[in-house]
Chain A
Amino acid sequence: MIEFQHVFKSYGRGRNILSDINFRVDPGEFIFVSGPSGAGKSTLLKLIGGLEPPSRGSIAVNNQRIDKMPSRARPYLRRAVGIILQDTHLLFDRNAIENVLLPLKVIGLENSLAYTRARAAIEKVGLSGKEDMNPVELSGGEQQRLAIARAIVNRPAILIVDEPTANLDQETARRIMDVFKDFNRVGVTTLIASHDRRLMASYASRTFLIDHGRFNDVKGVAA
């Protein structure tokens, strides 16, 4: 599903943010990516989502080599990978359902089918009845769930999430994590960048620990 072989990443001529990363993720795994701020967690997720090219090494996602993929082909890969960044990047000039509809408009899905799927995605994240609300009217947790609905509406095989529970209270964070776990149970491979150890301890079966370019693949949560 996802395979990194000797992957290096640096920006410009600066030091390597990621050095010689090697791992393999099988379909349906639920993985945390952990490490201190600036360790390279977000960079790792961006490499998987094809948002950044690696400086060296090979990355395969869904049996496609991202490092060899021409830039014009990357959007098609992104349609199979749901990406939720730390900032939800919701659009405040449209209502909740129109935000969720965007990925379906990108693939040119027929209007009535697109609305059906968008409503289903909103229902899955527990925001039914709030379709017509502007994201600005939603709470932080609801905005996060709306971003999840937008990421899963295309039924991606892989979900990559960057710090989904930052700035959320424990209860809301747990509800958000339950949503991810639900998707994982139906086979969606999920990678979540987080530094919340308590949360990771409750959900993780495997953790990638990154610290200043060094990479450790550990079972459960690293001590």
Chain B
Amino acid sequence: MRRWLRQHRYAIAVSVRRLLAQPFSSLANLLVIALTLTVPILGASILITAQPVARQLSVSPEMTIFLSPSADADASAGIAQRLKADFADDVASVKVVKRDEAMAKLRANPNWAQALAALPSNPLPDAVVVTLHEHPDLARHADTLATQWRQWQQVDLVQHDSAWVQRLEAILRFARIGLVLLAIGVALVVLATVFNTVRMQALTQREEIGVARLVGATESFVRRPFLYLGALTGLTAGLAAIALAYFALMPLNTALARLAQSYGTSLALRLPDAVSLALAVVVVAILGALSARWSVTRNTRF
């Protein structure tokens, strides 16, 4: 076991020595991989920031059932009762808003007060505001319920603006697929860059490989430093990419904060959580090692 550990320690030392022996070439390779990895990290940052916004909009949608102006005074209470009784699984809460109450609210708004004063009578209907429970496909589910409720007597309109929520979800789904494709592209860049780096290294270390074989080195011994070289390249590039993304988010967030402020809200892009980032770095390191193994197997047949 100790012998095995010593051989691995030696392989790591050799791979670090080889990386440091060609500092500019190693740095250029690291930079290419790091910059390429920064793009999906930034993409993921945008996506994870946009996702809760969309979820917030679609998770607890409020649907409003407007009654016809000729509806009985107690019709809204009846509908509220029916919703609670027949749709207990779907409905989280029900609130009746009487037409006078709605009018009073509008009058309280100085922007509307003048216009409303000109009206001879209250044109607003009674309404029932329904909050739905969570559902895996809430937008579609809300549409189904709205279709049913529109059939009820004395109901004039069921308002549920799910179309734009669906559109937003479709955009996010598209972005998620785009991010997966981007990740595949980045993986290919990592594979190609590490493959070429290791190929060049194997050619320059030809003499050393030959001597090592002469004195009894196994193929694992010959390949091991290259595998570590690939893994170290992936690991370092992954960490550098996180640092680059972190610094890139700073000016982006300053600009975004100003934009959000003008809409009276706050919004900031943030990196994916530490576990996801650590996982991404590990995956890149494994990709680097696999590519190195492929390259060294192909390029040391002499």
A residues whose Cβ falls under 8 Å from a Cβ of B: 51, 72, 75-79, 83, 85, 89, 91, 93, 102-103, 105-111, 150-151, 154
A-B contact sample (10 more), CB < 8 A, given A79-B216, A102-B212, A150-B215: A75-B213, A78-B216, A83-B214, A89-B207, A89-B211, A106-B212, A106-B215, A107-B216, A111-B6, A154-B215
Do A106 and B208 touch across chains, with their CB atoms under 8 A apart? no
Do A108 and B4 touch across chains, with their CB atoms under 8 A apart? yes
Do B213 and A102 touch across chains, with their CB atoms under 8 A apart? no
10 closest Cβ contacts across the A-B interface?
A79-B216, A108-B3, A103-B215, A78-B216, A108-B7, A106-B217, A108-B6, A75-B218, A75-B216, A89-B211
A91-B207 Cα distance, complex, nearest whole Å? 7
Total number of residue pairs linking A and B with CB closer than 8 Å: 58
Q: Which of B1-55 contact A (CB under 8 A)?
A: 2-4, 6-7, 10, 21
- Chain A hits for B7, CB < 8 A: 105, 108
A43-B216 Cα distance, complex, nearest whole Å? 18
CB distance from A221 to the nearest CB of B (A): 29
B residues whose Cβ falls under 8 Å from a Cβ of A: 2-4, 6-7, 10, 21, 207-208, 210-219, 221
A154-B214 Cα distance, complex, nearest whole Å? 12
Taking CB as reference atom, which chain A residue is nearest B214?
A: A83
Taking CB as reference atom, which chain A residue is nearest B215?
A: A103
A123-B4 Cα distance, complex, nearest whole Å? 29
A55-B208 Cα distance, complex, nearest whole Å? 28
- Chain A hits for B10, CB < 8 A: 105, 108
Tell whether A78 pairs with B3 under 8 Å between CB atoms, given A89-B210, A91-B207, A105-B10: no
Do B221 and A106 touch across chains, with their CB atoms under 8 A apart? yes
Do A51 and B214 touch across chains, with their CB atoms under 8 A apart? yes
CB distance from A158 to the nearest CB of B (A): 13
- Chain A hits for B6, CB < 8 A: 108-111
Taking CB as reference atom, which chain A residue is nearest B13?
A: A105
Taking CB as reference atom, which chain B residue is nearest A79?
A: B216
- The prevalent SS among residues of B at the interface is helix
CB distance from B22 to the nearest CB of A (A): 12
A202-B7 Cα distance, complex, nearest whole Å? 43
- Chain A hits for B2, CB < 8 A: 110
Between A77, A78, A83, A105, the greatest number of chain B beta carbons within 10 A of the residue's beta carbon is seen for A105
Do B4 and A102 touch across chains, with their CB atoms under 8 A apart? no
Taking CB as reference atom, which chain A residue is nearest B4?
A: A108
CB distance from A69 to the nearest CB of B (A): 13
Do B214 and A89 touch across chains, with their CB atoms under 8 A apart? yes
A154-B168 Cα distance, complex, nearest whole Å? 70
Do B219 and A78 touch across chains, with their CB atoms under 8 A apart? no
Between A75, A91, A110, the greatest number of chain B beta carbons within 10 A of the residue's beta carbon is seen for A75
- Chain B hits for A102, CB < 8 A: 211-212, 215
A78-B214 Cα distance, complex, nearest whole Å? 7
CB distance from B217 to the nearest CB of A (A): 5
- Chain B hits for A110, CB < 8 A: 2, 6
- Chain B hits for A154, CB < 8 A: 215-216
A57-B244 Cα distance, complex, nearest whole Å? 63
Between B2, B6, B215, the greatest number of chain A beta carbons within 10 A of the residue's beta carbon is seen for B215
A1-B138 Cα distance, complex, nearest whole Å? 82
A108-B215 Cα distance, complex, nearest whole Å? 13
Tell whether A72 pairs with B214 under 8 Å between CB atoms, given A91-B208, A108-B4, A110-B6: no
Supply 25 A–B pairs (Cβ within 8 Å), ascending by A: A72-B218, A75-B213, A75-B216, A75-B218, A75-B219, A76-B216, A77-B216, A78-B213, A78-B214, A78-B215, A78-B216, A85-B214, A89-B210, A89-B211, A89-B214, A102-B215, A103-B215, A106-B216, A106-B221, A108-B4, A108-B6, A108-B7, A108-B10, A110-B6, A154-B216
A78-B208 Cα distance, complex, nearest whole Å? 16
A75-B213 Cα distance, complex, nearest whole Å? 7
- Chain B hits for A111, CB < 8 A: 6
A65-B210 Cα distance, complex, nearest whole Å? 23
A111-B13 Cα distance, complex, nearest whole Å? 13
Taking CB as reference atom, which chain B residue is nearest A83?
A: B214
- Chain B hits for A76, CB < 8 A: 216, 218
- Chain A hits for B212, CB < 8 A: 102, 106
Do B219 and A72 touch across chains, with their CB atoms under 8 A apart? yes
A76-B217 Cα distance, complex, nearest whole Å? 8
Contact of A91 (CB < 8 Å), options: B211, B217, B218: B211
A154-B212 Cα distance, complex, nearest whole Å? 13
Taking CB as reference atom, which chain A residue is nearest B18?
A: A93
- Chain B hits for A109, CB < 8 A: 3, 6
CB distance from A48 to the nearest CB of B (A): 13
- Chain A hits for B210, CB < 8 A: 89
